[in-house]
Copies of this chain bind each other. A is one copy, B any other.
Amino acid sequence: MKTLLLSIAILSSILVFAQDNGAITKLIIGLEKLALDKWNNGNPSGFLEISAKDVAYFDPMTDQRLDGIDKLTALYESIRGKIHAGKYDMINPKVQSVDNMAVLTYNLTTYVGDTLNKWNCTEVYRLEMDNKWKIIQTHWSMTKPNIK
């Protein structure tokens, strides 16, 4: 009987853990998609609103890692209104999480006119004191860039 109760207790805790991880996965992907929708309509505010003060940032156009929300804001404001993708697909999103940090990875395809662009993306989210998840690290790179 004791063994049965112990098994039920362990199973319950595994289920709760799995549920929690599932809930985090759903929430993180939802946050990312909302921000991507705005991004692909020329509006970087979605990503800026969910990025933390200490965000670290890489993309293929920066000379080195950018540190902090002020630098990221300056970069994003410089391209506000300039990016318009007719269609995008978040491919195979994966979330690996603990209670208060989660890493989201996915491939992204965007169509700007007839041009297909392929991206690799890593976002790290952290659960903040106000119970909101914020991005603390963004890494965008081109999938198999055609190098000179």
Which A residues are within 8 Å of any B CB, using their own CB? 54, 56, 58, 60-65, 67, 91-92, 94, 96, 98, 100-101, 103, 105-107, 120, 122, 124, 126, 136-137, 139, 141-148
Question: Among the listed B98, B101, B120, which residue makes an inter-chain contact with A141, where contact means beta carbons less than 8 Å apart?
Answer: B120
Chain A at the B interface: mostly helix, strand, loop or mixed? strand
> What's the Cα separation between A101 and B96 when bound, in Å?
10
B136 touches A96 (CB 8 A): yes
A136 touches B58 (CB 8 A): no
Residues of B within 8 A of A141 (CB): 58, 60, 120, 139, 141-142
Output the nearest chain B residue to A94 by Cβ-Cβ distance: B56
Output the nearest chain B residue to A100 by Cβ-Cβ distance: B98
B145 touches A60 (CB 8 A): yes
Residues of B within 8 A of A106 (CB): 65
